[in-house]
Structure 1
Amino acid sequence: MFTRTDDKITTTQTVVIISCFMLGSGVLTLPRTLTERVKTVDGWISLILGGLIIMLAGICIVKLCQKFPGKTMFQFLKEIVGSWIGSCMCLLMVMYFVCLSAFEIRVMAEVTMLYLLEGTPMWAIVMSFMWIGLYLITGGINSIARLFEIILPITIVVLLICLLLSSRLFDIDNLRPVLGEGIFPVIRGLKSTLLVFIGFEIMIILPAFMQYPKKGVKALIIGTSIPLVLYLITFIMVVGAMTVDGVVRSTWPTLDLIRSFEITGLLFERFEFFLLVIWIMQIFSTYTICFYAASLGLAQLSKKNIRPIMYGLLPFIFIVALLPKNMNELFDFGDFIGTVTIYLFGLFPVLLLLITTIFRIGAVKEDE
């Protein structure tokens, strides 16, 4: 069947999917991209504000989806804005998820090639991960959720251990003065924080799969809070250890921080390998859920079987992943995706929610 909303997931699994989606390449790049834009030590304030804004945008999406129980946004959008506009918007969302999955798998390939498989052709790494991701998503949302439940706890433990061990390099003076140049640098940094919190938009499909859709807001808030706390700790530790100038000069500042120390006397003296392996799994998680969302959207839009569509999207993701010629173009591509997210999943759902509320479209009363 083209719809599989009978494949239910628990509230905990929903939380895990949201957190794994958000914990993509952001931990590796966030300190640099945010510090570049803010140009002060106040990026952590931008991070908190950005997380709160994302929560509000995600709540709007959840409230909208709760008006159409058992349906994803790909299915009910036509009921709100009409067939033609709804179909065009659904296609835009499918293209968005294709581009985001391509971006994530390219970042994963870049990190793998730079630190683990030096000299391996880019296309070989990308293609390998793509086929593994295809194998996973053919099992449906439940298979994805069960894998994420394994990956997320390991990711959190490894990241916190690595950051804790790097605390000997941390200097609180590198995070002073707070708001030394006023509030405007903090506002400038909001756009960079919104990119790393990409992931809330998966709620356009998850409430349809939830056993208890009414807990969608709770799942979103918890699922967003976990990456927010991890990103906050990472930013503070990296900037506190490397200073603003050091972070801006580094492409992957978090990895550089972990590589900058070693602990003698232990079985393992260098810890960046563990962080790399775990974070490749984390970026892979983001890629797979994006791939699944794009396939599901196209299947529900065309009312066709989802499996052939999964195979059909592979070459498109592969081509888009190899389009950026270098790291600068790749990061520009990521910024573009972040900008699209603001309009497509930030402002547009708010407009849809207003329309459904005013005209009472799809409204479900509690006593029904």
Structure 2
Amino acid sequence: MKLQSEEGFISDRDIMIAVISNIIGLLTLTLPRLLAANTNSSDGWLAIVLGGGIVSFFAYIVSKIASSFPNQSFFSYASYLVSKPLAVFFTLMFTLQYLAIASFQVREISVLAHQYLFDQTPREVIALAFLLVVIYAVSGSHAAIFRLNVLFLPIIIGGLLILILLPLGFIRTENLLPVFQTDIKGYLKATYSSITSFMGFGIVLFYIALVKSPENTPKMAVRGVLVITFLNLLLYIVCIGVLGNLTTENLFFPSFDLSRTVDIPGGFFQRFDSILFVVWTMIIFTTALMAFDIAVMTLMMVFEKLKKIKVIFTLSPILFFISMLPKDYLELTKVSSVMSSFIVIYLVIVTILLGVAYKIKGGNQNA
């Protein structure tokens, strides 16, 4: 079964950009805190490198399997590889997973905006306003989503590079040294946290069907992961170097707070947090947008007669309701931890099962 797409095909480069946009996500804001909590000094850099390497391997495997079934939906090639009933289960689980991811993004943007900018505005109002924009974007074509990714990415990368470069003169070497002071248990926990922050590569399973000639897509997906690995590494080192391990560990959004703690003559960096908020809104928007789009897409794979707009309007209230369930930020953090663990475990299981089935069956039935 071919994936029908009225808006045509996308390129390998679009997949790489989508992977970068989706992985950056909200966890880039919190990753330095998660690493600092499990490591000493600046030892978290090793966890980022290991996590990026492991995820690059899985991204290649996932992309390689999907690219072997050109222009076919996940449900189509999964049905061939592991049987239709199991494919239905996998697909619906992905629907729930990406609906939860979109809900988490909606809630987090409301928390971030309420904490740093709109402290007098109810979180529910902020979340609803953000969700309405996401709904509008998802109602369009897949091509429009990828055009938004292409449009936003230079701004996002530019904002991150400014955040990394401006505080370089304020780095204190005593915050970075000595190295290799963390025990094995700490490294394992930190590496696991690093891996969870890279799980956005899973979108390749679904969007690769829109690539006309996906032969080079696995390499592009890996490049996307490596780009984010490099950016996360730089951002982590700057956070630790400027703020220190202990301070970073006790900040909810250390990457964002970095822009508020460095004082540069002229006042530009004092207000850079406002500019950075715009950048992070773009990041969270693209992540929520693709997550909700995949939730809609996967549901329509199983129930082919459903109309897209009806699915969107049915899932939207559910998404908003889920986003409002956590009572406070502490509970939201716990939910995020559980959700991240589920995403990692589930994606690894699906990848292994599809990989084994692919090896046994010898690839595409049309090859």
Same-fold call, TM > 0.5? yes
Counterpart for residue 240 of structure 2: 239
Counterpart for residue 345 of structure 2: 343
Alignment of 1:162 onto 2:172:
no
Query: Does the 8 Å CA contact 1:51/1:194 hold for their aligned counterparts?
Result: yes
SS for the counterpart of 2:257 is helix
Alignment of 1:105 onto 2:106:
yes
Counterpart for residue 323 of structure 1: 325
Counterpart for residue 277 of structure 1: 278
Deviations, residues 240-274 of structure 1 (Å, cap 9, x unaligned): 11111111111111222210123223666531111
Letter in 1 for 2:22: F
Task: Flag the 1:261–1:214 CA change in 2: closer, same or farther, 3 A.
Answer: same
Percent of aligned pairs with the same amino acid: 25
5+ unaligned residues in a row in structure 1: which ranges? Answer: none
Give the TM-score taking structure 1 as reference length. Answer: 0.94
Matches for 1:35-54 after TM superposition, within 5 Å: 35-54=36-55
Letter in 2 for 1:20: S
1:131 deviation in Å? 1.2
1:27 deviation in Å? 2.2
5+ unaligned residues in a row in structure 2: which ranges? Answer: none
Letter in 2 for 1:100: I
1:94 deviation in Å? 0.5
Matches for 1:53-202 after TM superposition, within 5 Å: 53-202=54-203
Partners of 1:239 and 1:296 in 2: how far apart? 40
Query: Does the 8 Å CA contact 2:18/2:149 hold for their aligned counterparts?
Result: yes
Task: Flag the 1:204–1:2 CA change in 2: closer, same or farther, 3 A.
Answer: closer
Query: Does the 8 Å CA contact 2:38/2:187 hold for their aligned counterparts?
Result: no
Counterpart for residue 18 of structure 1: 19
Partners of 1:234 and 1:72 in 2: how far apart? 36
Query: Does the 8 Å CA contact 1:74/1:300 hold for their aligned counterparts?
Result: yes
Query: Does the 8 Å CA contact 2:42/2:175 hold for their aligned counterparts?
Result: yes
Partners of 2:98 and 2:303 in 1: how far apart? 17
Counterpart for residue 34 of structure 2: 33
Query: Does the 8 Å CA contact 1:67/1:364 hold for their aligned counterparts?
Result: no
Task: Flag the 1:123–1:266 CA change in 2: closer, same or farther, 3 A.
Answer: closer
Letter in 2 for 1:281: M
Query: Does the 8 Å CA contact 1:2/1:300 hold for their aligned counterparts?
Result: no
Partners of 1:37 and 1:74 in 2: how far apart? 39
Counterpart for residue 302 of structure 1: 303
1:5 deviation in Å? 7.3
Counterpart for residue 213 of structure 1: 214
Which of 347, 359, 362 aligns to 1:360? It is 362
1:182 deviation in Å? 4.2
Counterpart for residue 313 of structure 2: 311
Query: Does the 8 Å CA contact 1:3/1:296 hold for their aligned counterparts?
Result: no
Counterpart for residue 223 of structure 2: 222
Partners of 1:107 and 1:95 in 2: how far apart? 18
Deviations, residues 265-288 of structure 1 (Å, cap 9, x unaligned): 366653111111111111111000
Letter in 1 for 2:17: V
Partners of 1:268 and 1:165 in 2: how far apart? 8
Task: Flag the 1:80–1:161 CA change in 2: closer, same or farther, 3 A.
Answer: same
Partners of 1:364 and 1:183 in 2: how far apart? 47
Query: Does the 8 Å CA contact 2:3/2:210 hold for their aligned counterparts?
Result: no
SS for the counterpart of 1:189 is helix
1:80 deviation in Å? 2.2
Partners of 2:225 and 2:348 in 1: how far apart? 15
1:88 deviation in Å? 1.5
Give the TM-score taking structure 2 as reference length. Answer: 0.94
1:363 deviation in Å? 4.7
Query: Does the 8 Å CA contact 2:22/2:290 hold for their aligned counterparts?
Result: yes
Task: Flag the 1:3–1:102 CA change in 2: closer, same or farther, 3 A.
Answer: farther
